[in-house]
Amino acid sequence: MDVEDRIDGWVTALEGFAASVGDGSLMRDALSSREEILLDIQREQLMAGKAADGGPIRPTYSEDPYFRTREAMERYRGWKHRLNPRRDIDAPDLFITGEFHSDFFLSFLDDGVLFDNYWKEVFDKYGAEQFGLTDENWDEVLSSIREEVNTHLHSVL
């Protein structure tokens, strides 16, 4: 194989790589291969009472109109805190039986990943923007994907 053939091979390989990056398939494949990991991270965030923006899930217990009295809210908040003391006492973890946490799934869109759930009434109450990974968690996921992309690039070359 002469130099020109080798260069043509590299160009073809790089064009294929660029296409997979450009249409998002490389990223989509990398994320979909980590679907359970992404869902587990989402569940961990919920147990910590954290929304996608890194703040508490809202409405917090003290903001939630469900509670008719402050005393009722404080009793429930205290009970939930005894069950899960690792989160802010006022931040809900949205865990009662575990079904809501178990029913998360991912939808892969052209411009990202949507964390979705079959429990629409809960999802609607808190708002879709609450769900998804924090920037810190996305940084960790993307760091592992970078390694995969680098490996893929080296295998192409």
User: What mean pLDDT do residues 36-60 have?
Assistant: 97
pLDDT in tens, 103-113: 999 998 877 88
26 Cβ contact list (under 8 Å, min separation 6): 17, 20, 149, 152
pLDDT in tens, 112-147: 889 999 999 998 999 999 999 999 999 999 888 887
End-to-end, the C-alpha distance of the chain in Å comes to 15
Which residue type, as a one-letter code, is found at position 156?
V
Residue 125 pLDDT: 94
Judge whether residue 89 has pLDDT over 90.
yes
